Chains A and B, each alone.
Chain A
Amino acid sequence: MTRFIERHPAWALILLIAVAVMLWLILAVWPPGLEEAIGRKRVFLNAVFNGITLGSLYFLVASGFTLIFGLMRNVNLAHGSLYLFGGYIGYAISVWTGSWVLGFIVAFIGVALVGVVLQIVVFRRMEGQDLRQTMVTIGLSIVFADLMLWVFGGDFYQIQTPNWLVGPIELPLVTALKSSGEAVYLRYPMVRLVIFVAAVVIGIAMWLALNRTRVGMMVRAGVDDRDMLAATGVPIQLVFVVVFALGAGLAGIAGVVGGTFQSISPGEDTRFLLASLVVVIVGGMGSIPGAALGAVIIGLAEQLGSVYIPTYAIVVTFLIMVLVLALRPQGLLARR
């Protein structure tokens, strides 16, 4: 942080001002002039919150993707299929047992197992051959998509939110003042907040696991120099399997989350693959904090875009990607 300020004082100042403006926009009661210029504060606040919660969903998908890439240099283009598969498992389990939480657990384990099989049966055979692996994952994603279409049909499924999560909750953020001077607080869907908190917890847990545990140390060493790590006697294949399982399991959890506050249907796999590709390109391939930053940026861009420039909302995310590729091709938070 301090190094960044020392090296780029101008950028740091601009960032600081942007953060201050954002905080003011979120916390202050808007003067009437501003409301007239860009609409009501409730709309803006909602868009910001939606952007962040949508970003947390993107983060769940993209973090697994970037983790796998970081360690194995394997661009797993079947990652979207893992997401969709997790969603379907979550739906089946929550309908069968009536438990939403159980859906998450089973989806994580089930998709992680698929990940293990993929790593052992497919990727281990073609280690180090990036192009071949990429082509195989494209093929696999098509096969998976058709298999899931066969089993689950073209219907869209929605995972039932448990009763205690349905409905809005009042947040201590003032959106407007009534003529009597009474403050109107922001009402926001409970389930989205819970999902946001869960994503933050998962993100922190992942950071801790990577930076504070022995396995995490091995993974980090593997990201830096795979061959050297193998030479020190670490069972590198085992580490690969664990990381692949974790990345796939995260995609599975994300599928359940996506099925809860959106819906799952054929086609969602490519949508989320594309989203996670954009997120990791913006954030930096292989970097977990990068995935978090990228996810929030893309989520915010999508939601603010859909409110303020609805016609061009779809373009905005790709515009951001193009800008990042042009100015900082390695991604915003890439390590090298």
Chain B
Amino acid sequence: MFRSCARLVALSSLLLSSAALAQEKIKVGVTATLEGTYTVLGEDGIRGHQTALNALGKKVGDKELEFIIASTDATPDSAIRAVRKLIEQDKVQILLSPLSGDEGIAVKNFAKTRPELTFVNAASGAQETTYVDPSPNFFRFNMDGAQWQVGLGKYAYETKGYRKIATVGEDYSFIYTQVFGLVLEFCGAGGQVTNRQWVPLGTKDFASVIAALPDDVDAIYLGLGGADAVNFLNQYQQAGGKAHLMGGSIMVDQTILSAKGNAKNALLGTIAASGQADTWEDPGWQKFVKAYQDAFPPNKRFPSPSLLATNYYGSTMALILALRQVNGDLSNNQAKLKEALAKIELDAPNGKIKLDSNRQAIGTNFVTEVVDDGKGALFSKVVKVIPNVNQTLGYDPAVFSKIGLPSRTVPECKKY
């Protein structure tokens, strides 16, 4: 009995593997933060990924793409665990990963240990990932946190007339990068950043942080995301906060603007900057929004795609288009695919994207303001569109490298 059973298993496994050979597949591993503080962001990222698959299909020549999704929780070790699992257990050949800043740095470093594979960044935006010691097989088709803040500092200083601001941000690389971009531009224009508060990712009780906010500033910049942002706004409202607000790219985003409850109303009129604007009139963007809305029932999506959905859409699109250019040829350590990815120019929903020599996106940025659509839903309205934003933010690379890497205290508030 036992022997016949074993034989059957052996036979069927043989059959299965030959079947797999007959219809060749390209396996792609995808990670998203489907746990923890950034759950909502990860879920919408996957929706963006799905929208891209709906638009482009899964066929590459005569091969079929197979996507395997793994969950992380925004910590670097969870990302490495997920990527390892995808490579070692699911045998994926290409990675579409990760979502969050610290994860990005960890996965980039990990990518160096597997030079034969290709890593396409899904959405993470820490500067260090592609700026310091980049990995030749790691490609990022979204801008970093600092690029996403371009235009905000000037707009706040010149149009809004803010002279002194304070910042509150989550204590990790992506928000450092965002504050880096903001401070550089705001202080460059002549503004002052008097106070920078950092809170651990996943903070629940912001009451003391809110109490410690200075009174003598024109606006408060919030670099928070996911559950943290909603908790902050909820408690900010309960504490009767009335200051002008400025938002980072994942703060003023559909992940927060369409959260349940009325705490989000504190964001009305908030100025922000990001790699997208909900109400942009560009036909490509409108088409993407429509495709996103049609792909999911209204209660299973946001009214309009979040930055994460857009990023996952863009990175999935880049990967599929590059794979089609080389007709799915992964021979010679995927050399052709890597070459194609480095050269590809993407007509993404949020503007044209191409890569620089570090394989980092150069793209379009948007300054926005939060408005009410009249029915109680909040959207980010485009105020200014800034094309061709590169990683050194228009600075001379030599000057830029002197500023230092984004951290709690870098950059200093001065003109570089």
Instruction: Please tell me if B357 contacts chain A, counting CB pairs below 8 Å.
Output: no
Whether A156 lies near B238 (C-beta < 8 A) is: no
A interface, how many residues as a size bin?
A: 35 or more
Instruction: Please tell me if B234 contacts chain A, counting CB pairs below 8 Å.
Output: yes
Per the 8 Å Cβ criterion, residues 239-296 of A in contact with B are 261-263, 265-267, 271
Instruction: Please tell me if B263 contacts chain A, counting CB pairs below 8 Å.
Output: yes
Interface string of B43-54 (1 = CB under 8 A from A): 100000000000
Whether A263 lies near B234 (C-beta < 8 A) is: yes
Whether A154 lies near B39 (C-beta < 8 A) is: yes
List the A side residues contacting B230 at CB < 8 Å.
156, 158, 263
Instruction: Please tell me if B231 contacts chain A, counting CB pairs below 8 Å.
Output: yes
Whether A262 lies near B231 (C-beta < 8 A) is: yes
List the A side residues contacting B240 at CB < 8 Å.
167-168, 187, 189
**What's the least CB distance linking A56 to chain B, in Å?**
12
Interface string of A149-172 (1 = CB under 8 A from B): 000011111101100001110000
Whether A307 lies near B208 (C-beta < 8 A) is: yes
**What's the least CB distance linking A180 to chain B, in Å?**
17
Interface size on B, residues (CB 8 A): 36
Residue ranges of A at the interface with B (Cβ–Cβ < 8 Å):
39, 42-43, 45-47, 49-51, 53-54, 153-158, 160-161, 166-168, 187-192, 261-263, 265-267, 271, 302-304, 306-307, 310, 313-314
Instruction: Please tell me if B36 contacts chain A, counting CB pairs below 8 Å.
Output: yes
Whether B235 lies near A307 (C-beta < 8 A) is: no
B239 is contacted by which of A39, A156, A189, A265 (Cβ under 8 Å)? Answer: A189
**What's the least CB distance linking B242 to chain A, in Å?**
10
Whether A156 lies near B40 (C-beta < 8 A) is: yes
Whether A303 lies near B39 (C-beta < 8 A) is: no
- A46–B237 Cα distance when bound, in Å, is 15
- A154–B234 Cα distance when bound, in Å, is 19
Whether B35 lies near A154 (C-beta < 8 A) is: yes
List the B side residues contacting A49 at CB < 8 Å.
207
List the B side residues contacting A262 at CB < 8 Å.
204-205, 231, 234-235
**What's the least CB distance linking B39 to chain A, in Å?**
3
Whether B211 lies near A46 (C-beta < 8 A) is: yes
**What's the least CB distance linking B221 to chain A, in Å?**
17
Per the 8 Å Cβ criterion, residues 202-259 of B in contact with A are 203-205, 207-212, 226-227, 230-231, 234-235, 237-240, 259
B238 is contacted by which of A261, A263, A314 (Cβ under 8 Å)? Answer: A261
Known A-B contacts: A157-B260, A167-B238, A306-B203. Give 15 more (CB < 8 A). Answer: A39-B212, A46-B210, A54-B207, A153-B43, A155-B39, A155-B43, A156-B39, A158-B234, A158-B263, A168-B239, A168-B240, A187-B239, A263-B204, A266-B39, A313-B200
B211 is contacted by which of A42, A153, A156, A263 (Cβ under 8 Å)? Answer: A42
Known: A160-B261, A167-B240, A263-B204. A154 touches B43 (CB 8 A): yes
Q: List 18 A-B contacts (CB under 8 A).
A: A47-B211, A54-B205, A54-B207, A155-B40, A156-B39, A157-B260, A158-B234, A166-B238, A168-B240, A189-B238, A261-B238, A263-B204, A265-B39, A266-B35, A267-B73, A307-B208, A307-B209, A314-B200
- A187–B236 Cα distance when bound, in Å, is 12
Interface string of B19-39 (1 = CB under 8 A from A): 000000000000000111001
- A-B Cβ contacts below 8 A, count: 111
- A42–B240 Cα distance when bound, in Å, is 14
Instruction: Please tell me if B70 contacts chain A, counting CB pairs below 8 Å.
Output: no
Whether B207 lies near A192 (C-beta < 8 A) is: yes
Whether A46 lies near B39 (C-beta < 8 A) is: no
- A166–B235 Cα distance when bound, in Å, is 10
Whether A156 lies near B35 (C-beta < 8 A) is: no
- A54–B231 Cα distance when bound, in Å, is 14
Instruction: Please tell me if B197 contacts chain A, counting CB pairs below 8 Å.
Output: yes
Instruction: Please tell me if B199 contacts chain A, counting CB pairs below 8 Å.
Output: yes
**What's the least CB distance linking A303 to chain B, in Å?**
5
Which of A43, A49, A191, A306 is most buried by chain B, counting CB atoms within 10 A of its CB?
A: A306
Whether B239 lies near A302 (C-beta < 8 A) is: no
Whether A190 lies near B238 (C-beta < 8 A) is: yes
**What's the least CB distance linking A15 to chain B, in Å?**
25
- A54–B262 Cα distance when bound, in Å, is 22
Known: A42-B211, A263-B231. A310 touches B199 (CB 8 A): yes
User: Which B residue's beta carbon lies closest to that of A161?
Assistant: B238
List the A side residues contacting B204 at CB < 8 Å.
262-263, 271
